[in-house]
Structure 1
Amino acid sequence: MERTGTILRGREFDPVEGRVVIDDDGRIEAIEEESVESTDIILPAFVNAHTHIGDSIAKEAGRGLSLEELVAPPDGLKHRLLRDASRDDLVAAMTRSLRFMQEAGTAACLDFREGGVEGVRMLAAAADGLEIDACSFARGSIDAMHAGHGFGASGANDAEFGDEREATRAAGKPFGIHAGEVDASDIHPALDLEPEFLVHVVHPEPDHLERIAEQAVPVVVCPRSNLVTDVGLSPYAELDERTTLALGTDNVMLNSPSMFREMEFLAKLSDLPADEILRMATINGADIAGLEYGLVEPGRAARLLVLDGDSNNLTGARDPVRAVVRRAGVSDVREVVGS
């Protein structure tokens, strides 16, 4: 199997004209540079590095509420709505969000999963039959972590999480934790847990930035969510200078889980270059989760996004990487290879 067009190759997304050759095992066998007729743009499928898709039953609920009123356990609006919904309704709503993500070029999402072991099972049921890796970063118990992909802690001010951290390390799974979303008070305690990644980090102080750099802890940023909840915006350039950044869309209650929208938003409110934002949306999230894709290069799993470079939206674009990050959308998707 092969796909032809402008290929955004490797970690630098060097645009080359040619073909991607895919073997029978679904891996990239070769990238062959040559003149082709196709105007398609071929890039890695996205990895959405932070989601909460359980609240897909409550899209655009909670207008005017604070972050705590919206999502704080146990009595935030989100959690009340989750308790009141049936299992079938929750699974059906999550399936619709996962289907949208797949159609919008996302190969995987890292979901901070409420509901313990049953929550992990519900996400698996929602993803059944879809070609998207819905990775459960479970909460609620060590058993839930064992059932899922890793552990996703709510925040170091909510509990100590020491036992969960040790169990996750022993299981060889990643441990992620929210930190610095509302204020800086939980960043040092989160870093004390030596997590595989932090989420948000809106309010780091100089000593937090130093520790993040020293510990080489990746950070997943969620700019649209942070804007909606009025907690502020992360210091993207300062974080990018010190560590690896990845990109997530956060709560489906608040935002469409579209990586196109997240990339464009970040590109137009920050000084981060387009190629760095595309890495945040692909390989950096894949690396956090230990996935085998995220780049177009030989040996990688062929989870690819093919865009119509001759669409009314993209035709005439002089810089394909900037066009993908700042301009492309779901309507430009021609195909998601590997789905």
Structure 2
Amino acid sequence: MQLEGTILRGRDFEPIEGRVVVEDGEIVAVEEAGVHSDRIILPAFVNAHTHIGDSIAKEAGAGLSLDELVAPPDGLKHRLLRAASQDELIAAMRRSLSFMERAGTGAFIEFREGGVSGVEAIEAALDGLAIEDVVLGRETLAAMEVADGFGASGARDGEFGAERTATREAGKLFGIHAGERDSDDVNPALDLDPDFLVHMVHLEALHYERLDDEETPVVLCPRSNLVTDAGVAPARELLDRTTVALGTDNVMLNSPSMFREMAFAAKLYDVSAREVLGMATVAGAEIAGLNAGVVETGRDARLLALDGDSDNLAGAEDVVRAVVRRAGVDDVTDVVLGD
């Protein structure tokens, strides 16, 4: 198959006119040529931090603090998850996942509550969908063993050492929340040598020094951090030190739309549109270990096409800026996730 239009090529998202040729789920050519298409072709998004189980409780808990909303084991979301049946949980997650796929998300990294049954629930919700999942179990080592790794809450007082050791021995991914509520859990999290950190809002000079040395990747969730009054992460300082990706976090708090996350990040942080697009695509792919996130030969064909002549995008003079700050689900014409 071929997709023609303005291609945002490579890691720099250079706009070129041409076509992307796909065979057997792989990009086999990116050809610069004159074509007659208004489409804009870019990598499908990688949502690098989600809690899809929260789909059963959208917009619940208005006015509650961060701990009251999501702190384990008895935050509001954990009580609602326990109260839901497996069928209710699966049905709600499937609707969110279907929306994400339709809105151009090709892959996501999920922190999955509920132990083994929670991992099984999201795998059931994914049945028949093309979106690629990287599921990190929580709460038990058994959940890690049936998943792609372990997703930890904030480390304090030596927590999660056993889980980190077991995950490393299994050759799986270990991610952890850090610096969301305060800075106290950042050093303990870094001491675990995680594969990536989530949030990193509250940082001190020592943490920047450690990131200079260790370059641990970070996932930012700007909309979630403002909804929970966590604050604004130092995105510029983090990007200058390490790989930084974007995630939409709890479905309870925000729509799992990477279009919305990009637009918000571009207007909140001191970063360029190209940097934001990289955060939404190739950075998340690298954290997840996926061969995606870039339109170039040899990458998996996980692509998104937008209507550049839609009422929303027509007349854009800076295509990358328009995609990041202006584009939305209604502009999507094609989502290619494989052949």
Q: Verify same fold: TM over 0.5.
A: yes
One-letter amino acid matched to 1:264: A
Asked if 1:38 is matched to 2:37, the reply is: yes
Alpha-carbon distance in structure 2 between the residues aligned to 1:114 and 1:264: 28
- Deviation digits for residues 164-223 of structure 1, max 9, x if unmatched? 111111111111000000000000000000001000000010110110221110100000
Q: Is the 8 A contact 2:177 2:198 kept in 1?
A: yes
Q: Would you say 1:207 and 2:206 are equivalent positions? A: yes
Secondary structure, counterpart of 1:256 in structure 2: coil
In structure 2, the partner of 1:15 is 15
Give CA-to-partner distance per residue, 1:78-100, whole Å, 9 cap, x none: 11111111100000000000000
The one-letter code of the counterpart of 1:135 is V
Q: Give, in whole Å, the separation in 1 of the partners of 2:21 and 2:74.
A: 52
- Give the deviation of 1:157 after TM superposition: 2.0
Q: How far 1:159 moved relative to its partner?
A: 5.9
Secondary structure of the structure 2 residue equivalent to 1:242: coil
State whether structure 2 residue 112 is matched by structure 1 residue 113: yes
Q: Report deviation, 1:134.
A: 2.3
Contact 1:123-1:134 at 8 Å conserved across structures = no
Task: Give the structure 1 partner of residue 139 of structure 2.
Answer: 140
For structure 1, the residue ranges without an aligned partner over 5 or more in a row are none
CA distance in 2, matches of 1:210, 1:305: 37
Write out per-residue CA displacement over residues 37-91 of structure 1, whole angstroms, 9 at most, x where no aligned residue: 0010000000000000101010000011001011111111111111111100000
TM-score, normalised by the number of residues in structure 1: 0.98
Question: Which residue of structure 1 lines up, in the alignment, with residue 74 of structure 2?
Answer: 75
2:245 is matched by which residue type in structure 1?
A
For residue 52 of structure 2, what is the aligned residue in structure 1?
53
**Residue identity in the other structure for 1:144:** A
Aligned residue for 2:253? 254
Tell me the residue number matched to 1:128.
127
Q: What is aligned with 1:168?
A: 167
Alignment of 1:264-283 (within 5 A): 264-283=263-282
Aligned AA for 1:19?
R
Shift of 1:109: 1.0
Report the alpha carbon displacement of residue 8 of structure 1 after superposing the two structures with TM.
0.4
Identical aligned pairs, as a percentage?
Answer: 67
Shift of 1:310: 0.5
CA distance in structure 1 between the partners assigned to 2:294 and 2:152 by the alignment: 28
Q: What is the aligned partner in structure 2 of residue 6 from structure 1? A: 6
Aligned residues of 2:157 and 2:188 also touching (Cα < 8 A):
no
Q: How does 1:143-158 map to 2 (within 5 A)?
A: 143-157=142-156
**Aligned mates of 1:31, 1:133 — CA distance in 2:** 23
Question: 2 CA distance for matches of 1:134 and 1:196?
Answer: 17
Q: Which residue is equivalent to 2:288?
A: 289
**Amino acid aligned to 1:283:** V
Call closer, same or farther: CA 1:246–1:172 in 2, change over 3 Å: same
Which amino acid is the alignment partner of residue 71 of structure 2? A
TM-score, length-normalised on structure 2? Answer: 0.98
Corresponding position: 1:223 with 2:237: no
What corresponds to 1:66 in structure 2?
65
Aligned partner letter, 2:202: H
The CA distance in 1 between the partners of 2:213 and 2:169, in whole Å, is 23
Task: Give the number of equivalent residue pairs.
Answer: 338
How far is 1:280 from its partner? 0.4
Question: Which ranges in structure 2 are unaligned for 5 or more consecutive residues?
Answer: none
* Divergent runs of 4+, >3 A: none
Report what 1:29 is aligned to: 28
Instruction: Give distance in 2, aligned partners of 1:43 and 1:75.
Output: 41
Structure 1 residues 158, 134: CA separation in 2 closer, same or farther (over 3 Å shift)? farther
Q: Does 1:88 align with 2:95?
A: no
Q: Deviations over 1:217-242 (max 9, x none)?
A: 01000000000000101011111111
3-state SS of the aligned residue for 2:31?
strand
Q: Tell me by how many angstroms 1:140 deviates.
A: 1.4
> Whole-Å Cα distance in 2 between the matches of residues 74 and 168 of structure 1?
22
* Residue-by-residue CA offset, 1:117-164 (whole Å, 9 max, x unaligned): 111110100111111112211111222112111111011027611111
Taking only aligned residues, the RMSD between alpha carbons, in angstroms, comes to 0.9
Segment drifting more, 138-147 vs 305-314: 138-147
Amino acid at match of 1:46: F
